Every structure is written in structure tokens, then in C-alpha cells.
Amino acid sequence: MAIEGADIVALRHARILEIARHAGSVAVETLAVELDVTPQTIRRDLNILAQRSMLSRVHGGAVVTSGVDNLDREARRHVAAPAKAAIGETAAALVPNGSSLFINIGTTTEAIARALVDHRDLLVVTNNLNVIDILADRPTIEVIVAGGKVRASDRAVVGALAMDFIRAFKVDYALIGASAVDADGTLLDFDVDEVRVSQTIISHARTVILGVDQTKFGRPAPVRIADMEAIDHLVTDRMTDAALAAACTAAGVAVHETDRAG
């Protein structure tokens, strides 16, 4: 039996999640035909995704999990990982040397941080302790961490103290993520404390860059971050939602796709 590479498996998992979130459920046999793999492979994929709380297994397939709770960070880290890396490179290229910037919570923003390591003369303010680990030892990047309550699940600094800290700055760029983007352009997330920090970051930046992969389009989440008018650049792997593309155009958002031919 051939051994699949991790990137191939990750891409297939991302596609399964995309199909599930648009349809509400997926069937083993249908996925096997669409993705050109065996039913056994699909069952194994669904079992892995269920173990990570990304889907719930049912007889013959799987259904989407609740739109009220987000996946844990370790699970999110595996979703669309190659796409996030490409998004990180493209978003980082929009940030010139010598800039000041916010970086907020999320595995996509962490991918952007990894793509910034060779930039020079950056001032980075962040409420993401994982970003601190990525950038703190870079000699040409000054990193400032927001103070406040640390959320153990993903090492996010959230709450009123973090918001007050961020208000002391006015930076050139905000690099943000979102758990979901509605077809009308509304940015959504799951945690009220995290959303309030994100809103503060957006309001204290001159240019806002949103990095999201296509699995976030049309995904349900209960808490509104902002409308598309708050965003200047949207970086994604593929713009798969025509209504969202129209909302971006109407809001004057520059859309950058990393996988136009994919």
C-alpha cells in the first residue's frame, strides 16, 4: 500500500471539511468518488477528523460539529496547513520593512508570523504567545506582548487588560484571522473576549490584512468581529464564494489568492 504524504492528506481533509460545512453532512461513498480514493481511506479520514472534533461520525459518513464551539488549537493547526503557509507568505509580502504591526490570535496569523522572520526593523505588538515564540529571538524585530489573562487552550492574551494595552498603540498594519467569514462579508468568531480584542486591534491600525483559508467561508460562528468594510486586504488560498467576492468588491477590499490555478 502506498504511503501518502502529509500534505496530500491535509489537503484532502481540508476538502472534506469544506464539503461538509457547505452541505451539513458527508457520505463515505460520495466522498470516495469525488476525491478519487477508496471508501476505506475516507472512513479513516473521517475517523481522524472526528477524533479532532472537526466532524461527528454517523453511520455511512459524518456531520458538521456545532457552530457554537471552535476546534482546539491543535486540531486547527492541522486544517489546511499548506494553504495557511501560502497565505502567510503572501500576507507577509504586503508588510514592508520598518513597519509597526499587530498580530492577533490564530494558526493562520502564526503562519504569517513565520513568514515575517526575515523582515527588518519591525515593531510587533501581539496578544498571541505563540507569535512571541516565533519572533522574539529575531534581532531585527522588536516584539511587545499585550498584558492580560492568558487563555490556556491556545495561549491567547484576552480580556479588558489586553484591550487597554492595545489602545496605547496606533500601528501601520493589523494582521488578523477569523474563525468564519459569512457570505455577506461579516467576520465571525466564537469567543466574546477574543472578539473584543480583535475589534480593538482593527480600530488601532491604519491598514488591516485578514488571512483566512477557504474552509472559513460560510462556516457558522456566533460572535461578530466586524464587517468587510473594516478590512483592506483579504488573503486566501481560493475565493470560492461568489457572494463573498462581491462583498469584497463592494467594500473595496483587495483580494489576494495564493492558489488561482489549484
Question: Mean pLDDT in each 10-residue stretch from start to end of the chain (262 residues)?
Answer: 71 87 82 94 91 78 62 53 92 98 95 97 97 96 94 88 96 95 94 92 98 86 94 95 96 93 40
The pLDDT, as a whole number, for residue 68 is: 41
The pLDDT, as a whole number, for residue 55 is: 78
The pLDDT, as a whole number, for residue 56 is: 77
- What is the CATH topology of the domain spanning 75-257? Rossmann fold (3.40.50)
Question: Cα 122 from chain centroid?
Answer: 22
Residue 176 buriedness (CB in 10 A; 0-12 / 13-18 / 19+): buried
Nearest to 43 by CA among 62, 21, 66: 62
The answer regarding whether domain 6-65 maps to CATH 1.10.10.10 reads yes
Reported as a single tens digit per residue, the pLDDT across 165-222 is: 999 999 999 999 998 899 999 999 988 888 999 999 999 999 999 999 988 888 778 8
The pLDDT, as a whole number, for residue 131 is: 97
DSSP assigned state of 169:
-
The pLDDT, as a whole number, for residue 51 is: 80
CATH 3.40.50.1360, the chain: domain bounds: 75-257
For 219: left if phi > 0, alpha if psi spans -120 to 50, otherwise beta; the answer is beta
